[in-house]
Structure 1
């Protein structure tokens, strides 16, 4: 898990960006343009902002519409400035807190004809009232702002339902905060992202949102340990000069056991880690500190107390292992020397090359799909035999999840089903009805075991999708994989039109291989788990990436990329990848 700010956005260019902020060619020119820095209360970044201004006297329809669109990024005082662009009746009825649409303003601007003004544009995503992001495709807005005259000035009589934000405005004005809940079946915390206006995002709003609980979609996989009815007992979560955040809670929390108090403290500590000014957290009820097991003498806690609830590793130099000419071996990070592993699939290999391999995160064993793609096997370095785990048809490259379970997908035609075998060789019963009529071409189970990202193929389209992993109801064994959500990402970047592969790089972020067209080279992109915040990470040109191997970590990125020519590239920084091996057909990365 990471406490770093997740609000990183692509730099879109200042000149084009200021126009896109309002979604039109003209923006109000009466407000000051200032260099701003992220507030101490807000996970943000340095940037150039245009301060929204009230409507000037005798403003034209163009200025009224542009000013209204721009001022929707200013939530202070219940969007007071934005309401000044509306008629009195419209200002009373408009509900900016109901959600938002994020639209493509690159070639779509308001159209003003005489005294009328409208906006037609494709919708990239929607935000619900809680700030949860949902990519969409095939939807558009068609607004008529109903320009009318009130007291001698032009005003808008028909505002949209909720907010309307260009992608640039959303990128500049919103920050992303991970709310952490407790897994129903695992000892892990599970994040859910919300996008909040930077101007009002602070520890108080984050804790309030956390107390409201997870979305209905995630609720089947997690629990909010806070008792029903728990709320903040004062208006603010205070942060002192030493970085101690005091969270005043209502008396319901006094009913919790020691273990439950530790869980809620972990949820809050990880959530508030998004705010750099918070270093430690203290909980109070009625002004008296709440005892948290393991807390410091001053009754404060930090994320360091709850590292056991994170499924992520911390490793700057993981071990790189590859399948080269049918032989599994280790690659030296410094010299690139390939050293075959001991045993049947390493130095003693003499059979057909496996179709897919994956290594357990700590390097303890391998999951292997044989050349026929009909058998899932396990193998330990040094062993002269493999063990049969399961069989199927058209098995995909396997994955060994955080708990040591070996996963693959059996694909027959346009039907897919998950296969998972635990480290005790017990077959996990998985119900995934939504995939019975879908063709999966790649998948990756999240490190907290609450989600699985899949790439779905439908004729020529390949789209990223997310499913949740939840326990079955009624005490039946196994899990249900459902809640399929497709992420159509091409609206935010045309390079994300076709998705080839996916892997988790942290608790909140993925890396995908994507391309603009079937003939375009594959390139890696870093995206948030909800499909927001897509960012190209290179290599820039001359390379066609076809697959990835990732090792989720808490403090950086561990990724290997395989090219169509068999080269393995290791991620070092954005746009900087280093070649570490060649003549490779499969790879794994472990501690």
Structure 2
């Protein structure tokens, strides 16, 4: 699937699709924000039926006045009556308009049926999130010669259709922020909104935030702003240059909850304004004693979901766990050779270690404090994927949950009970039941999403927890055409993944959490197939191939040998 724009403006690298990116996404107003009604010119005279349908698609990039520019290619009656569905179909740039077979053509010589042929890359949903999914499109479009001799569409598609390049030009990414259900880890929720006009930008961001999480994250995140919060009046700029956000409907929330609301708003606005943000609730300061905010005023909420720089990472080599920084075995049985280690995972704050070791009957899982013997978990299996930790409630707490997949099919969470024992519970993965064998699983470091490798494809699902169970919800295959031989995956940050594959074509790639963006890393010095990969916020990527470990920090950078490279090493950062 060709890449769409998740981060617009950066220079594309070799092998990526023609969608620009940028390091800092920007939020954009809703399509109807600040748009003055304007005269839409009539189509060029004398267009043939094929050109009428092609220009209808090309003009769909202009959403002004309810897509009036594309409606101009409909007949007079339909211009007022056409009601496309609320999603938007994004197709590859190369699409075709051809005459349908003669058997499908009307008897009336003044009517023709045009086949719109394209490859759909996915849909922009009504909640402004992107739902990736490749499919072939063959849409019949009926046109009729009008009384003035011009051809116009009389039976249009059910959806607005837009090409990927037009989508990249017209829509930008808006990350709006929510929280992990039981910690202060922030969770970005990517949305796509119209880029022009730019008036009313901050108000549009607030509208997106107040609409709540997208459907794909529903139930997986906490929204301190809740369902009742609204704007009491317009977002404005005060005389002293502060951006005023006048909220109402918040009720009697605690100061701590209001501070989380402030964090949601200020973080979501930081890409569209450098002004101070004045947050009001029914005319008074949202947070008592602090009416105005800048991003620098916010606590470091990311600390709970980002490994400390003092934790350099580890690697599994020939049955032992070693330090990535020195290459030396770690202290305790995992490093001494007391266990025959298959894979391991360090908790995000470094305090705990989970180990999959070989046993007489297959493999078994041990969990314990770092450097000491771990408890053997009752989870019989022939194979277990490398464990993945859920973050603790605070950076100083110990984690009480990790996940693994037993025998390629049983997604399992392991929790610490009140007595300190680790007990297992099968995750409800019914929505994955028809997908295939699961060979990899990584929880995002905020705990709200899971990335899985299923029959070589990359799948992302949200994690919905209740007191009784955990459920993988809304799984989506990402970049299914280009990523069909994935062997390992990790999270660079909360909305970006990195994958290693067995493919010569795309050995290592970075993928946005919704699958819109794929950037291929430079393959210089690498020898496919890849075997392992690890990533973390602010850390260099480390990959393994047949020659050992390699590291790089940028998409276009040449891979360099890791200073402690070992053959058959499996590297991993905490999390």
Residue in 2 aligned with 1:46? none
Shift of 1:77: 3.0
8 A Cα contact 2:28 2:204, kept in partner: no
Q: Could you tell me the TM-score, scaled by structure 2's length?
A: 0.80
Per the TM alignment, residue 97 of structure 1 is displaced from its structure 2 partner at its CA by 7.1
* Counterparts of residues 175-574 of structure 1 (less than 5 Å): 175-199=172-196, 202-235=201-234, 237-238=235-236, 244-249=242-247, 251-275=248-272, 277-285=273-281, 288-293=283-288, 295=290, 299-302=292-295, 304-308=297-301, 311-313=304-306, 319-332=312-325, 338-346=327-335, 348-349=336-337, 351=338, 353-372=340-359, 374-378=363-367, 382-383=371-372, 385-393=373-381, 394-403=383-392, 404-405=399-400, 407-412=402-407, 415-422=409-416, 424-427=420-423, 429-434=425-430, 438-457=436-455, 462-472=456-466, 477-490=467-480, 494-514=481-501, 520=504, 523-540=507-524, 542-544=526-528, 545-551=530-536, 553=537, 556-563=538-545, 565-574=546-555
Q: Where does 1:57-76 land on structure 2 (aligned, <5 Å)?
A: 57-76=45-64
SS state of the match for residue 404, structure 2?
strand
Cα distance in 1 for partners of 2:203, 2:85 equals: 17
Q: 2:458, 2:483 within 8 Å by CA — same for their partners in 1?
A: no
Distance (Å, rounded) in 2 between the aligned partners of 1:183 and 1:466: 17
Shift in alpha-carbon separation, 1:244–1:72, aligned structure 2, 3 A: farther
Matched-pair contact (CA < 8 Å) for 2:25–2:173: no
Normalising by structure 1, we get a TM-score of: 0.78
Q: Number of matched residues?
A: 527
Q: Assess if the C-alpha contact under 8 Å between 2:354 and 2:366 holds in 1.
A: yes
Contact (CA 8 Å) 1:452, 1:469: kept in 2 or not? yes
8 Å Cα contact 1:6-1:176 kept in structure 2: yes
Change (3 A) 1:542 1:186: closer
**Offset at 1:5?**
7.7
Flag the 1:94–1:39 CA change in 2: closer, same or farther, 3 A: farther
- 1:482 deviation in Å? 2.6
CA distance in 1, matches of 2:327, 2:491: 26
Give, in angstroms, the shift of residue 267 of structure 1: 1.6
On the 8 A contact 1:525/1:535 being kept in 2, the answer is yes
**Contact 1:74–1:199 (8 Å) recurs in 2:** no
- In the alignment, which residue of structure 1 is the partner of 2:98? 111
State whether residues 451 and 459 of structure 2, in contact with CA within 8 Å, keep that contact through their aligned partners in structure 1. yes
Q: Deviations over 1:156-184 (max 9, x none)?
A: 22222232122222233221112222333
Deviation at 1:422? 3.9
Residue 211 to residue 145, structure 1, CA distance change in 2 (3 Å): farther
Q: Which secondary structure does the structure 2 equivalent of 1:72 belong to? A: helix
| Offset at residue 369 of structure 1 (A) | 0.3
Unaligned segments of structure 2, at least 5 residues? 30-39, 101-110, 393-398
**Deviation string for 1:256-296 (max 9, x for gaps)?**
33233222222212222332x3454222356x34231573x
Output one character per residue of 1:527-564: Cα deviation in whole Å (capped at 9) or x when no partner: 1212221221232575222221222x2xx45432111x
Indicate the SS of the match to 1:570. Answer: strand
SS at match of 1:587: strand
Alignment of 1:101 onto 2:89 = yes
SS in 2 for 1:98: coil
- Alignment match, 1:79: 67
Measure how far apart 1:214 and its partner are: 2.1
1:115-149, Cα deviation, whole Å (9 max, x unpaired): 65331123221121222211224452423152533
Q: Deviations over 1:441-461 (max 9, x none)?
A: 10110121112121112xxxx
Contact 1:104 1:167 in 2 (8 A): yes
| CA offset digits 1:75-100 (Å, max 9, x no partner) | 22332322222222222233467111
Per-residue deviation, 1:186: 2.7
In the alignment, the residues of structure 2 paired with residue 172 and residue 294 of structure 1 have an alpha-carbon distance, to the nearest angstrom, of: 42
- For the aligned residues, what is the CA RMSD? 3.6
Shift of 1:525: 1.5
User: Which deviates more from structure 2 when the two are superposed, residues 259-268 or residues 426-435?
Assistant: 426-435
Q: Deviations over 1:221-253 (max 9, x none)?
A: 234333544322335x3457987432222x312
User: Aligned in 2, Cα 1:420/1:386: closer, same or farther, shift over 3 Å?
Assistant: closer
Is the alpha carbon distance of 1:445 and 1:142 closer, same or farther for their aligned partners in structure 2, counting shifts above 3 Å? same
Q: 1:167 to 1:216 in 2, by over 3 A?
A: closer
